[in-house]
Amino acid sequence: MLSRSKTSVGVIGLGIIGTRVIANLRNAGYEVWLWNRSPRMEPNFLPSAREVAECARIIQFFVSDGTALLEAIDNMSLSLTPAHLLINHATILPEESREAARRARQVGARFIDAPFTGSRDAAGKASLVFYVGGNSTDIEEARPILSVSSKEIIVIGEVGEASAIKIATNLVTASIVQSLAEALAILHREGVAMEKFDLAMGSNASRSTTSDMKLPSMAAGDFEVRFSLKHMLKDVQHALRIGEIHQLELPLASAFSAAAMAGIQRGWADDDFSAVARHYNLPGAGLPLDMVASDASTPMAESSENTALEKKGLLQSFFGKK
């Protein structure tokens, strides 16, 4: 039974993370009010974000990008008050986080930045890790709500700084997965069994939680979505955007963006981001040879996708300016 003594919570965005956070909140006794751009058959689903603000003073956002966040805040602005605390969990640009905070302050509401690490399974097990930025008093007010779905809450600093941390850590994760895909391709071409690589990595200094999670499924061609390719591409493109702002060359970000964009053009957008391994036609990946670039060591080297990416400015040179 719901405990009416607890604060009502609003959740905007019912994707694979948002839906699991909602379940965690309900299990903890919170009354939860919901809105999503695509209507859902869910208890307490409301017709608009504004109506969520009328029912709950703490609101969590699990939306797709900065544009969706700003649109939701604008939609609910007439119902926001100083009692409202908005908590953004989307991975967005630091400048978008600061703009969201500014729009919230315009109508008297408060805002904190709380992107997270951890995918579908971690959310279901209430084991997310939140990186949090904002006013310390607001963070402490949010802590009980965040604790429901997390194993750790790391206070980073001001609004925008947590967004930068999340983009940086996701760039590391994407780069690890890309390097695993290339390593598996080398071993496959050399005739070395995939399980031997797994065995070798167990005692290797480069072993990581990411490699432990992704290596077995990549070798098996299992790309069931935990964190989608399209969302990882968005996050890595944020890194490239920051690089452009500060005149930084980010070749690893560029390489993953090329692989991810080519994969999305082949229909892998909603697969796990480790689907970049499909470019190498590994055992279990199940791609016809005509879906793989002629030079398997550099799958985008001669592809039309690569040319398109260069035109869009998504690829940077390893040396010199674009």
Residue 27 has pLDDT above 90, yes or no: yes
**Number of helical (H) and strand (E) elements in the chain, helices listed first:** 12, 8
pLDDT in tens, 131-157: 999 999 999 999 999 999 999 999 999
- CA 71 from chain center: how many Å? 19
Which tens digit of pLDDT belongs to each residue from 241-263? Answer: 999 999 999 999 999 999 999 99
119's tokens: 């995918």
Alpha-carbon gap, residue 89 to 133, rounded angstroms: 11
What does DSSP say about strands 116-117 and 128-133: parallel, antiparallel, or unpaired? antiparallel
Encoded amino acid at 280, one letter:
Y
DSSP state of 8: P
Residue 317's SS3 state is coil
Note the pLDDT of residue 29: 95
Residue 297 has a pLDDT of 35
State whether residue 129 is helix, strand or coil.
Answer: strand
Whether the CB-CB separation of 226 and 218 falls below 8 Å is answered with no
User: Which string of DSSP letters, residue by residue, matches 27-56?
Assistant: HTT--EEEE-SS----TTB-S-HHHHHHH-
How confident is the model over 69-126, as pLDDT tens digits? Answer: 999 999 999 999 999 999 999 999 999 999 999 999 999 999 999 999 998 889 999 9
Question: Please, is 92 exposed, middle or buried when counting C-beta atoms within 10 Å of its C-beta (0-12, 13-18, 19+)?
Answer: buried
Radius of gyration of the CA atoms of the chain, in A? 21
- The closest of 309, 312, 265, 250 to 279, measured between CA atoms, is 265
Residue 322's pLDDT is 33
Model pLDDT for residues 215-246, shown as the tens digit of each residue: 999 988 999 999 999 999 999 999 999 999 99
pLDDT-based confidence at residue 6 (cuts at 50, 70, 90) = low
